[in-house]
Homo-oligomer: A and B are copies of this chain.
Amino acid sequence: MKSTLTINSANSTPPSKGMFGKLPVAPAYRVVFDTIEKLVMTGKLKPGDILPTETELAERFDINRSTLREGIRLLEQNGLVVRGAAKRLTVSVPHIVDLTSRISNALILHDVTFRELWETYIILEPALAKLAAENATEEIIKKLEDNLESMIACGEDADCFNKLDYEFHDLVAEAACNRPMLIARQPISILMMPAAHAILPRLNTYDRVIVAHRKILDAIRAHDQSEASEWMHKHTTDFKRGYESLGFDAGEHLVNSGFDASAGIKPQA
């Protein structure tokens, strides 16, 4: 951190280099991004606002349109602007799904282990179930009921079952009305999907899953927070037990769950 710097250190290197670590002269396209990002974050630009055309923006910033466009790409990737109906740039709010898929990609690249995912999941899922029992609306309870019915109708069609299982937990998370926790859970859920797909057909846990889901749903409907939390805890622990009884090592990397895992879901981007 070079906490102590003396100006008069005329011993080794000329003072023009070495100290004064390069002051942040950002390329123009980055300045464009920073500027507009700040405008959005400070509320001077609100979601839904339509930006001027590229030509006009370039004129105002006094840069070339190509350069401006590079800045726009940064904003676009950040989800702060989208090219709206009329192709015009409109200010937007980053979608949760964009964030979560980005996070899961990053976790994959960081070689996250199943142990880490699991440790977090076993914390979040019961907490979300508890909050769901507190906050669930009639509407979402209806969706949960539909989900459970479909799952029963599913029989032992593993693909169908897994999809509905994933959806059930997603709905519970949504019912909790807590976005930070939702964002934390989603990437983990995505990354654990391959494991879920591997477990179900080999261990034949269909019945156990349905029983657990029903208990959880009942608890949510009854606003019984501790019951919801406890059953979700059991249910999630079951999942880990299944994982381990298949001979997987929880410390093992998940690298090759790979790209399709994150790209496979993206429900309605």
Interface string of A92-115 (1 = CB under 8 A from B): 011010010011011111101000
Which of A154-162, A180-188, A206-214, A215-223 participates in binding chain B? A180-188
Which listed segment binds B: A11-19, A36-44, A197-205, A236-244? Answer: A36-44
What CA separation (Å) do A177 and B112 show in the bound complex?
A: 11
Q: A41-B109, A112-B180 are in contact. Are A78 and B79 (CB under 8 A)?
A: no
Min CB distance, A105 to chain B, in Å? 6
* A73 is an interface residue with CB less than 8 A from chain B: yes
Q: Are B77 and A40 in contact (CB under 8 A)?
A: no
- Secondary structure at the A interface, as helix, strand, loop or mixed, is helix
- A119 contacts which chain B residues (CB < 8 A)? 127, 131, 178, 181
Whether a CB of chain B sits under 8 angstroms from the CB of A123 is: yes
Copies in the complex: 2
Contact assessment for B109 and A103 in the assembled complex, using a CB-CB cutoff below 8 Å: no
Q: Please, what's the 1-or-0 string for A67-85, where 1 marks a CB less than 8 Å from any CB in chain B?
A: 0011101101111000000
Query: Chain A interface residue count: which class?
Result: 35 or more
Contact B29 A112 (CB under 8 A): no
Q: State the Cβ distance, A2 to closest chain B Cβ, in Å.
A: 11
Q: Are B74 and A43 neighbours in the complex by a CB distance under 8 Å?
A: no
Complex contact A103–B110 (CB within 8 A): no
| Complex-state Cα separation, A88 to B232, whole angstroms | 49
Please tell me which one of the listed residues B33, B71, B94, B178 contacts residue A102 in the complex, with CB atoms under 8 A apart: B94
* Other A-B pairs, 5, CB within 8 Å; known A123-B127, A180-B188: A29-B73, A38-B259, A116-B181, A119-B178, A120-B180
Leading 6 A-B pairs by shortest Cβ distance: A184-B184, A73-B73, A41-B259, A77-B77, A93-B109, A94-B106
